[in-house]
Amino acid sequence: MRKNITHIALLLLLFLGNALAQPCVKVGDAIQLFTKDLEKAKKGIEDAALDPACSSDPATWYYKAFILKDYYKNKEKTIKNASSRIAAIEAAKKNLQLDPQNRYAEECKKILNFLAQTFYNDASKDLNEKKYPSAYDNYVRYLDIIKYGQPDKLDTSAIFYAGYAASMANNYLKAKEYLKKAVELKYQEPNLYYYLGKVYWSIGEKDKSYEVLNLGHALYPENKDVILAMVQYYSEDGKLKVLESTLDKAIQLDSKSPDLKLTQAVVCEKLSETEKGQEEKYFKKSESLYKEVIKSDANNSRANYNLAILYYNKAVNIIDKLDADSDLITIDKIQDQCVLIFKLSLPYMTKAYQLNPNKKDVLEGLAGIYFALNDIPKSNEFKQKAESMK
């Protein structure tokens, strides 16, 4: 039924073509074969296009595009890089080039739009199947074809997806090109900023990465992925101060995430070691975050371990910074203070040990705390267990 409709349409066009200009004989023969034998029609129109008597006639290219498009639909739709699809596109483009009066332009554009859409669909399918290089190629082909079919249309969505597919295929230069264009065209998709930030980061353009991610965050303050990318890169870059403020925002967006709180706790712990005059502020913040995580999940081994280490390190730092000229009374007071802190550390490391009895870091942690508390037999017990883990 569908075939018949197509045939009628073609004959109608042939009639219309006749009204305008008579196509060459070989083209007419191919059209006649169209409903009877598609293979022969294809062969006929291909031969006609090679014939100098027909090849300069725009109608030849229009009919070639039409027949090969139909051939693709019926015979080669499942074939990757089907030659009939490419040939149909080239023929339609050739018609647009040769047809100054635009007699077939609208029909050729319809053919191009249809075939462009097939590339778009292939690209989307590839993307969902994680075939990123192929998805990228298909989006690029779509974009190339659609500009003939719809010269006034700029498909920002396809531009973004081409960039996304390229970035997932680690083709960073092309990813940068397309994603940057999507940003310039103000394509509305928060992941655009995430992926362009990632691409810039991957090619070492860190400042650009931060710039894009910050722009993405400003446009989409509720988007977690953009802010998590910022967290990741600031972390890798060791920019602890800005990382801390970024993590605060991320925690606001996802207040139940133990991972974000634990990361922020570690950041604050490190800041407590480097930010002069703010040691106690950052220590307290770190301690409070660990406790929040433990309160909601007493069995979070990392929170227990890290909090134990936070206390342990605090006491060790106090002792390490002790001036050698301190008198014996001062040393005694410092020891009192540190024993209390080491004792704060012990239950959390013990809990971490209960949760992970064979973890070397935990065993070494317990050995260290008991050693600092001068409980040498206990310290040796855990030290030996830790060594046996080797």
Partner 1 sequence: MSIRFFILTVVIIFGLQSKAQLPDPVSKIKVMFLYNFTKYIEWPKEYKQGDFIIGILGGGADALHKELEKLSMTKKAGIQNIVIKKYSSLAEVDKCHMLFIPESKSASLDDATATLKKNSTLIVTEKDGLAKKGSAINFVIKDNKQNFELNKGNIERYNLNVSSSLLSLAIQVN
Q: Which is nearer to partner 1, 9 or 376 (CB)?
A: 376
Query: How far is the C-alpha of 47 from the C-alpha of 27, rounded, in Å?
Result: 9
- Cβ burial of 328 (10 Å; 0-12, 13-18, 19+) is exposed
Nearer to partner 1, 3 or 130 (CB): 130
Contact 193, 212 (CB under 8 A): yes
Q: How close are the terminal C-alpha atoms of the chain, in Å?
A: 76
- Residue 67 or 367: the one with the smaller Cβ distance to partner 1 is 367
In the complex with partner 1, the residue whose CB is nearer, 152 or 336, is 336
Q: CA 369 to CA 122: how far, in whole Å? A: 61
Minimal distance in Å, beta carbon 80 to partner 1? 18
Shortest CB 306 distance to partner 1, Å: 4
Q: How far is the CB of 142 from partner 1 (least distance, A)?
A: 13
CB of 268 to partner 1, least distance (A): 11
> CA 284 to CA 272: how far, in whole Å?
9
Q: What is the nearest approach in angstroms of partner 1 to the Cβ of residue 368?
A: 6
Structure tokens, 93: 């483009």
Secondary structure (3-state) at 299? coil
Nearer to partner 1, 209 or 306 (CB): 306
Structure tokens that stand for 165 in this block: 């597919």
**Listed residue (131, 157, 135) closest to 146, CA to CA:** 157
**Minimum distance of partner 1 from residue 388's CB (angstroms):** 19
Which residue number, 18 or 380, has a Cβ lying nearer to partner 1? 380
Write down the H helix ranges in 51-155.
Answer: 52-55, 58-71, 83-98, 105-128, 132-149
CA dihedral of residues 16, 17, 22, 26 (deg, nearest 10): -120
Q: How far is the CB of 132 from partner 1 (least distance, A)?
A: 10
- In degrees and rounded to multiples of 5, residue 298 shows phi and psi of -60, -20
| Residues near partner 1 (CB under 8 A) | 121, 124-125, 127-128, 130, 161, 164, 168, 191, 194, 225, 228-229, 231-232, 235-236, 259, 262-263, 266-267, 269-270, 305-306, 309-310, 312-313, 315-317, 319-320, 322, 324-329, 331-332, 335-336, 338-339, 342-343, 364-365, 368, 371-376
295 three-state secondary structure: helix
- Which residue, 84 or 263, is less far from partner 1 as judged by CB? 263
Helix, strand, coil shares, percent, the chain, to 5: 80, 0, 20
User: Residue 67 or residue 168: which is nearer to partner 1 going by CB?
Assistant: 168
CB of 190 to partner 1, least distance (A): 10
